[in-house]
Every structure is written in C-alpha cells, then in structure tokens.
Structure 1
C-alpha cells in the first residue's frame, strides 16, 4: 500500500515565473544551476540554484560588470543578451551567449557559480544561441543558430578552442530541422553511442516546438526523430503555450528532465501573455533511443526529494551592503545613479534622464512574477519627480508618479502618452501601490475599467491607504502581443528629476499581501 501524496510531493509550473526565458541548466553533484536570457537589462544572465529542479533561488548574475556586458545606450528593447548556455567541465563553469547589440558570441568562465566570472572571450562565429559540448577526447564543439545564407538556414557546428576563442574546424551545416521556421536554440548531448542535437523550431510564439536529431559524431550526418516534434502545445487549448527552447539534465539516479520556456496567455482571442516567457519543468522518458516528452503540466511530481530552500523574500528593506541580484536596469546602471549609503536603510536614486519614454533614465525594477500581484514602495521624493512604473519597454509602460504635491497615473502606449488621473498628496513619504488582477467575464455594469472588454488583467494604482484606486487600466497594452519583443513586465522604481529615496519595496502574490 502506498502512502497518500502530500503537497510536498508536487511542484507548480512555471518553476521560475515571470520574464525568465531560454533556460539552460547543468548539474554538479546534487546541485543544479540554471541561466536565462536577459536582453537589454543589466546585470545580465540571471543565475539560479536548486537542489530538486523544482524550487529555485537566484544567487547572482553572470554578467554583473560593464566590461562583461557592453550595451549601447540606444540599444533597442529586446536586443542585448540572447540565449545563454551553462555547462560544467573540467572543474569550471562555462557560459556562452550572444550579445546581439555588441560583439556577437562570447564565453565567460568561473571556478564557482557565484563568481567572479571572467571577462568575455569573443568567438568569431556568426549567428545566435551558441552551445558548448565536449567529447571524450577533450574537443569542444559549439553549435549555433541563425546563420542564414543562400544555401543553408539552420544549425551549424564548429570545433573551437574555448580558452582562446578560436575556431579550429568549421563551421559546417548540421541540421535544418523539420522545415518549420527559425531552427534555433541548439544543444548537443552525448548519450551512450549517440550524439543528440536538440533544437527549437516554429518561432518563439504559439507555434514553438522542440525537435531532436541524432548522429554517431558531432560532424554528422544527422537524422531527425521519427516522432518530431518531441514537444509542442501548438493548436491546443492547453493553458501552457509556446513550449520550446529547451535543455536537458539528469538527476543523480539517472532520470531525465527538461527545462523549457513557455507562456500562459489569458484573456479574449488571440489572448495575451503579460509576464513574458517563463521557465517550466517536465519529465523526459526514453523509447527506442529517442526522448519522449510532454505535455507540460501545471502540476507535476517533484523530481528529487530534498529539503527545499527557503523562498526568496518579496520585500527588500535596502538594509544590506549591496543590491539584491534580482534588481535590473535597462542597458546600464552607472555608478553615482544609486546609493545604499547616502541615507542608511533607504535606496537613493538620482535622475539621469527626464523621461521613461527614452533610454537613459534611472530605473531599478524586478520582474513581475505573479499574475495576481501587489507591488508597493515607500517613497520620499523631496523635490524630485519619481514613482513606480510597470514597464515593458520605452513605448509601453504605466507610471504612478509623484511630483509638486501631486500623484498622477501616466499611460504610455505606443505613440500615445496620457495623464489618466491626478490626486493631491501631502509632503513627506508616501506609499505607492500597484496591483494586477486577472480579468474575467464581467457583466458590463461591473467592469472595473467602465468598458465592456475582455482584458487579460487590470493594473490598479493606489496612493497611501486609500482603498479606492487612483486609476485602473487595461493590462493588454503591457503585453508582448501588443508591444512585441521577447521580454515581460518589470515593475520598478524610477526618478526623472532630482533625487528620490525608497525605504522599502515589496512584490508578491496579491492574496498573500491583502
């Protein structure tokens, strides 16, 4: 007789919620390490640790120095860092990725996952989404995607010297996939006598898939799996969509698991995903020497029974000597734009740009990680202009701003910028709160926005202790389907005039904070 399953036996997908796409994972003993794409944000490539693959904690960022992450001041939103791969080989950690805004493909290394990570070793290879794999003779192979020419569009493979960044052989065409668009996200694995090449196809939207090929050698030839794609949720009514860009890992007892990106679109057709592409986890079986996967479930059995790490706190009181690694800023975070020392226990932000509508502003944010969320700060704006913003890019953001004795809600949607509501506020510190609530089929008379529409969610703005929102806005305009791109919502503090101080910041699920 088996014992009944407890809640501790299960995990919920996504395992890393919010804007955490293109996951790559490696195992060292009983520890797992995972990285994600960061695009135009600094620091770059968030690094996570887990003991069971299901519960993750961010322990740093691989690219945490300007010398590692040169991004032009005018780099477009959704440019920057694409698709990192993390591996552990010969006692070192290796991370390879692409800076599409400056320099292309490069490698950094570290003795410990927490760093310090080296400065980049640049590699003269085209394309994006590079991967690293070593054979039994010590040769390092780099698979990459996106090098499109008149004769071949697909994944190519080169033998490289990862220490010097030199190409020793190739690159040569490997596999163009099954015929879908954008064969990308390659990862090479040696399993038994076979080399496996896993890719994503179909574009990173609803047609996203995972496909597999195999060969006796990294040089090919490659044969596709008879059941390709090995994973796809396209053209289904599954709540998880856009499944793709995956990586494989084994547990110490030899079981296989896959991390992958996917979305949770909601609202009326065509539906909207507002948190970005997130990291999911699903088990993998093998049949006739081919992997068998999916579908990806919202709830699954935990891979490894271990003592879970404590959940990351949603609140930051700015009492430590350094910023939490979860804080990110668009393109850069210059010295002198922020301080934890000028007013102990407070975060000081100094204005560098006069608007959030263009690059160059002072902004520190965290990824929105809950569909129903509450984010609050205590702001002392003094003579400055500052506030709390829900940001997708320079052309799509909602701001709750305080200046000149007034709080106002400002909506920037494409070419339109509008002050939606204004309210007087007293001098001194003031609490600003943003909540997001998933939409439902409201009767017309009860629709929060006053309009009979089917938004994916509503974003509400509160000042002080007033239970009535200053404004409540349709969340679809802060979605990828409207704004385009590859990122998700980031909620953060900003200043566009003078200096502002923030005593604390709190982000978490709405039901737990009310």
Structure 2
C-alpha cells in the first residue's frame, strides 16, 4: 500500500460528534446521515465514492418548518438516529424529534437538498425508526423496541397495531437502532443493544419475510468491544451497505477514550467503518481499527478549509447553532467579511444564547479567531453542553477565561488588553498515553495571540470535565463563537488539526 493510500485509510472515517450513522448507495455514490440532537441545522448529509473519504454536502433539516427545537429542551433532546434510504428514484429520511411530536419523514430527489417539509408519523411511537420495502412495494417501519408497523410513506399513515419482532439477546439492555434488509433469500434484522456506552453491541437475526419469524445468529453479538482494551470503544448502532463490487461494509458509531481510568471520550460518538464477510448466511464483522484497508484505490476529496473568512453570504453546512438560527442575530451581511452576532441570552448557560460553532474533530487541535467586541461581550468557547464549557471572552478592555463544570462556575484568569480586535486562541492537547491512572484525556490551553503569533496562555484546564463520562448525554464537543451582550463581530475563525 502506498503512503498516500495508507494515509487515506483512517478510522474514524467521519471524526468528531457524528453519531448513529446511516448509509445508502445510489449507483456508485454513497450517502450518509447522522444524529444532530439540539443543534441547528439538523442531520448532516455526507457523500463519498469510496466509503473512506467523505464530504459534507448539506444538512437535511435546515429550515424552521423542518426542525422545531424548543428553548426548554436539553442538548441531548431534539433529533435522534435517522435512517437514510434510496428507493424508487427518491431519497427517504425518517427520524425522531423527541421535542416535537416524535417520528418525522422527509424526502428529496437530491440528498444535498432541498428536503421536503416533514410528514408526521404519529403511529410510530418509538425512537430510531427504519424504512424497508418488500417485493410488492409495501413499506415497513421498524423501531426501537423492537416493533414494526406497515406504513404509507407518502402520507405517514400506519396500518394496524405495531407488533414486536424480536427482543434481542436475552438480558441485553436497550434493543434499539433496528435495520431491516433483504439479502439473498432472507430478511435480516440488525439491532443495537447494550446501551450506547461501554456495553454497546450489534446483534442480528434473520427470517423468511420482513415480519419474521426471526432466528437469532448463534454468534451474537456479532460486534462489541466491551471488556477489551481496544482504542475504539462503545461500538454499535451499525448500518450495512453493499459496494458496487459486491463487497459488504458496516458503518457504526464508536468513541476514542483517552487518559487514565476509566477513560474519557471528548469528541462524542464518531462514525467508523468495518469490513463485512458472510459465513453460513450470517454477517461477520471485521476489525474496527484505527487503520483501514479497502480493495480499491481511494477517491480523495479536498480537505475542508481550516479557516473561514466569512466572505460568503451563505454559511458552510459545517456551522452549527443551538436550537435555531435567526438571520438577524447571526449574519455575514451586516459587516462584509465578518460574522456578526447579536446577543440574545446573557450567558452560555441560557438556552437562547447566540452561538455558532463547528464540531471538534481531532484529539489535538488549535482554534483561533479575531474578535471585535465593539460594545458587546463574546468570544471563543469549547462547548459540551450548557453546564460544561470553557471559554475565553473579550469585553473591550479585558480578556477573561471562565469555566463551568456542573454547579461550579469560576473565572481562573483575566488580562487587560487594548481596546479593539483581539485574537483569542484555544489549543486542545491530547494525552499521548501512559503515566498516572488518573491522567486527563487532554489539556485545554486558553489565551491570546499577538500579531507575531506568540501565544500567551492564560489558563490550562483539564479536558475530562468536558467529556461525556462527566457531562452525560449524547453530544460531543463543539468549538465556536458566541455573544452574551450587545454586538460582537468575528473576522475569521481558523481550526487546525494537530494530531
């Protein structure tokens, strides 16, 4: 394998907070979607030609009419576990908005969008809905439980009472994330179970029809890393896809814990890829490792820019806001070449805070921004949720570092600065392994940078407190810009991986 080839074959294939992946193929093109929870826009959509190199081409839910997220909801509310399918010349996406009436179905001719307004499916009352069509065109929706009901996807109407298909492995926690496929002479029912933490796993059953009866695989679970010291943990919530060459693959979620015991993962649940082979009519999942080998040349895609100068009226689809995004409060039109944020909420703890960020996708990275606080207060933050975040903010004559960890709220450092724009910087420095069993997963350095690039660190903070193991919930770190008073403008943001 050449050096270029080897460099392209890395796991996770979509790093950072991209959980619950679902995949489909149309011709030689693969499309993938993920959960987005309380972030707006929702459900990122990716494209690939080789399953390894992915480009975000949009977000399925980018209009308020598609995605309603109340201010009273938590970061781990909102949009859960979609399923993406290509059928009869259209793309179909079904998901659950737990804060807005449950199951929603969307369609598009082009997965890059635009996607339709939602078709509501009140007859599906559980999370993690799946879509599958049998030979006569009947559509079946299977969801966490594991339950199934016949569905008219054009109207959202369901027929009859849902029936339980299979309860999964006896004693296993939380059978969910079902995927139903017709492969050869069988219908296969793939599920996640064991919870989405260290006990996560994938099991499978098969039957003669989409309604079963289903016979469990004797080798269940067919995928789990529980009880191991592998660098990738929490493996589960898989989706199968067949390549044009007849090979089979699984996308799944996993995490990369760092530091000492018990290990902390800070990027959230990420999207990984694993090979699949078939033995005696059952799928066998290959190793989920940091390095991949695929039997075809890669199709490299341009690396995403590390810097956004906010010169375009439309924001790149990678940018996220919390619950909604009001154009009058988050705009590049007001001051050309700058992102202008007008404050709503007065702190990052408030649900209506004005925020725009991007997922942290590398264990070590550097993020910088040039901020003009003008008559406002705002800055750069690392956000796990409203109760777990670190930030460095400018007030016009002062820069200060603040930290919120649960009920603890502190300001460990301040510095007087000259009025006007200032460069704020946050470096995430991953623990390289070894040392004390209580070692942190990473250190976050927050400070200011001068015109010559010299970095003055004002605070060094333990990264474990911005991890899922501490904060709980389903989201990962997002790094971004915010305003908590008045008007704050940002000339650029530069995110550079340092792994």
Q: Are 2:439 and 1:454 aligned?
A: yes
Distance verdict in 2 for CA 1:41–1:143, change over 3 Å: same
Match of 2:156 among 139, 142, 165: 165
**Alpha-carbon distance in 2 for matches of 1:105, 1:134:** 18
In the alignment, is the contact (CA less than 8 A) between 1:160 and 1:169 conserved in 2?
no
**Alpha-carbon distance in 2 for matches of 1:507, 1:469:** 18
Alignment of 1:185-196 (within 5 A): 185-196=177-188
Alignment of 1:8-407 (within 5 A): 8-9=5-6, 11-124=9-122, 125-145=124-144, 154-179=145-170, 180-302=172-294, 304-407=296-399
Please report the TM-score for the alignment, with normalisation by the length of structure 1.
Answer: 0.94
- SS of 1:468's partner is strand
- SS of 1:481's partner is helix
**Alpha-carbon distance in 2 for matches of 1:168, 1:192:** 27
In the alignment, is the contact (CA less than 8 A) between 2:372 and 2:420 conserved in 1?
yes
**Alpha-carbon distance in 2 for matches of 1:300, 1:214:** 28
Please report the TM-score for the alignment, with normalisation by the length of structure 2.
Answer: 0.97
CA RMSD of aligned residues (A): 1.4
**Alpha-carbon distance in 1 for matches of 2:179, 2:389:** 35
Q: Report which stretch shifted further, 309-318 or 191-200.
A: 309-318
The equivalent residue for 1:469 is: 457
**Alpha-carbon distance in 2 for matches of 1:102, 1:339:** 27
In the alignment, is the contact (CA less than 8 A) between 2:446 and 2:458 conserved in 1?
yes
How far apart are 1:193 and its partner, in Å?
A: 1.1
Distance verdict in 2 for CA 1:441–1:189, change over 3 Å: closer
Distance verdict in 2 for CA 1:195–1:441, change over 3 Å: closer
Q: Which runs of 4+ in 1 moved over 6 A?
A: 441-444
**Alpha-carbon distance in 1 for matches of 2:397, 2:275:** 55
Distance verdict in 2 for CA 1:40–1:303, change over 3 Å: farther
How far apart are 1:428 and its partner, in Å?
A: 1.4
In the alignment, is the contact (CA less than 8 A) between 2:401 and 2:412 conserved in 1?
yes
In the alignment, is the contact (CA less than 8 A) between 1:52 and 1:303 conserved in 2?
no
**Alpha-carbon distance in 2 for matches of 1:305, 1:442:** 36
Q: Are 2:488 and 1:490 aligned?
A: no
Q: Are 2:493 and 1:505 aligned?
A: yes
**Alpha-carbon distance in 2 for matches of 1:304, 1:173:** 41
**Alpha-carbon distance in 1 for matches of 2:298, 2:237:** 27
In the alignment, is the contact (CA less than 8 A) between 1:53 and 1:303 conserved in 2?
no
In the alignment, is the contact (CA less than 8 A) between 1:373 and 1:509 conserved in 2?
yes
How far apart are 1:453 and its partner, in Å?
A: 5.4
**Alpha-carbon distance in 2 for matches of 1:84, 1:480:** 21
Q: Report which stretch shifted further, 250-259 or 460-469.
A: 460-469
**Alpha-carbon distance in 1 for matches of 2:396, 2:305:** 33
Distance verdict in 2 for CA 1:256–1:440, change over 3 Å: closer
In the alignment, is the contact (CA less than 8 A) between 1:435 and 1:510 conserved in 2?
no
Which string of whole-angstrom CA distances, capped at 9 and with x for unpartnered residues, describes residues 34-80 of structure 1? 00000010000000011100011111000000111111111112010
How far apart are 1:425 and its partner, in Å?
A: 1.1
**Alpha-carbon distance in 2 for matches of 1:143, 1:402:** 50
How far apart are 1:357 and its partner, in Å?
A: 1.0
Q: Are 2:413 and 1:421 aligned?
A: yes
**Alpha-carbon distance in 1 for matches of 2:298, 2:482:** 40
How far apart are 1:301 and its partner, in Å?
A: 0.9
Which string of whole-angstrom CA distances, capped at 9 and with x for unpartnered residues, describes residues 130-179 of structure 1? 0001111101011000xxxxxxxx30111100000010244110011002
**Alpha-carbon distance in 2 for matches of 1:123, 1:158:** 11
In the alignment, is the contact (CA less than 8 A) between 2:53 and 2:299 conserved in 1?
no
How far apart are 1:294 and its partner, in Å?
A: 2.7
Which string of whole-angstrom CA distances, capped at 9 and with x for unpartnered residues, describes residues 441-486 of structure 1? 7989xxxxxxx95111000012122433111100000000000000
In the alignment, is the contact (CA less than 8 A) between 1:372 and 1:510 conserved in 2?
yes
**Alpha-carbon distance in 2 for matches of 1:508, 1:203:** 33
- SS of 1:185's partner is strand
Which string of whole-angstrom CA distances, capped at 9 and with x for unpartnered residues, describes residues 342-394 of structure 1? 11111111001111112000000000000011011111111110100100111
**Alpha-carbon distance in 2 for matches of 1:174, 1:221:** 7
**Alpha-carbon distance in 2 for matches of 1:7, 1:237:** 29
- SS of 2:128's partner is strand
**Alpha-carbon distance in 2 for matches of 1:433, 1:322:** 25
Which string of whole-angstrom CA distances, capped at 9 and with x for unpartnered residues, describes residues 178-237 of structure 1? 020000000000001100000001000000000000010111111100100010111001
How far apart are 1:440 and its partner, in Å?
A: 4.9
- SS of 2:129's partner is strand
In the alignment, is the contact (CA less than 8 A) between 2:69 and 2:324 conserved in 1?
yes
Q: Give the number of equivalent residue pairs.
A: 493
**Alpha-carbon distance in 2 for matches of 1:303, 1:39:** 35
- SS of 1:502's partner is strand
